[in-house]
Amino acid sequence: MAAKYIFVTGGVTSSLGKGIISASLAKLLQARGFSVTIQKFDPYINIDPGTLNPYEHGECFVTEDGAETDLDLGHYERFLNVPTSQANNVTTGRIYHHVITQEREGAYLGKTVQVIPHITDEIKRRMLLLGESGEFDIVITEIGGCVGDIESLPFIEAVRQLRWELGVNETCVIHLTLVPYLKAAGELKTKPTQHSVRDLSEAGVQPDILVCRSEYHIPTDLRKKIALFCNVKQNSVIESIDAETIYDVPLLMRKEKLDERVIAKLKLPQRNEPELESWKEFLGRLKNPTAEVNIGLVGKYVELPDAYKSIVESFVHAGAANECKVNIKWFQSENISDENVAGLLQGMDGVLVAPGFGERGFKGKLEAIRYVRESGIPFLGICLGMQCAAVEFARNVLGLEGAASTEMDPNTPYPVIDMMEDQKNITQMGGTMRLGAYTCELKKGSKAFSIYGKSKISERHRHRYEFNNKYLADYEKAGMMATGINPETGLVEVIELQNHPWFVAAQYHPELKSTVLNPHPLFVKFVKAAMNYTKSKK
Catalytic (active site) residue 97: no
pTM of the full structure: 0.90
The answer on whether 189 is annotated among ligand-binding residues is yes
Q: Would you say 29 and 8 are in contact if contact means Cβ atoms under 8 Å apart?
A: no
Q: What DSSP character marks residue 292?
A: E
Among 217, 208, 130, residue whose Cα is nearest residue 181: 217
pLDDT recorded at residue 355? 87
- Tell me whether domains 4-275 and 289-537 share a fold: yes
CA neighbor of 179 nearest in space, from 218, 209, 208: 218
Residue of 122, 175, 511, 520 marked catalytic: 511
Catalytic residue among 383, 440, 500, 520: 383
- Within 13 Å of residue 203, how many CA atoms lie on the same side as its CB? 24
What CATH architecture applies to the domain 289-537? 3-Layer(aba) Sandwich (3.40)
Paired strand residues for 351: 296, 379
What is the DSSP track for 108-153?
Answer: TTTPPP-IIIIIHHHHHHHHHHTGGGSS-SEEEEEEPS-TT-GGGH
Omega cis (within 30) before 269: no
With H, G, I as helix, E, B as strand and everything else as coil, classify residue 42: strand
Q: Show me where the domains of the chain are located.
A: 4-275, 289-537
Closest CA to 20 of 256, 288, 252: 252
- Does the annotation place 387 within a ligand binding site? yes
Averaged pLDDT, groups of 10, the chain, 538 residues long: 92 86 95 93 80 67 83 88 87 91 86 90 93 91 90 94 92 95 89 93 94 92 94 93 91 94 91 88 94 92 81 94 94 89 90 85 90 93 92 90 86 85 54 76 91 91 86 90 89 91 93 93 95 83
Contacts of 1 (CB under 8 A, 6+ apart): 137
Contact between 211 and 238 under an 8 Å Cβ cutoff? The reply is yes
Integer Cα distance of 493 and 58 in angstroms: 25
Catalytic residue flag (residue 401): no
30 is in an annotated binding site: no
125 is in an annotated binding site: no
Work out the number of other CB atoms within 10 angstroms of the CB of residue 124.
Answer: 18
Q: May I ask the CATH class of domain 4-275? A: alpha beta
- Is 72 known as a binding-site position? yes
Q: Give the active site residue among 75, 463, 500, 509.
A: 509
Asked if residue 407 lies in contact with residue 419, where contact means CB atoms within 8 angstroms, the answer is yes
Give catalytic status of residue 157 as yes or no. no
Helices and strands in the chain, H and E counts: 18, 23
The pLDDT value given to residue 424: 56
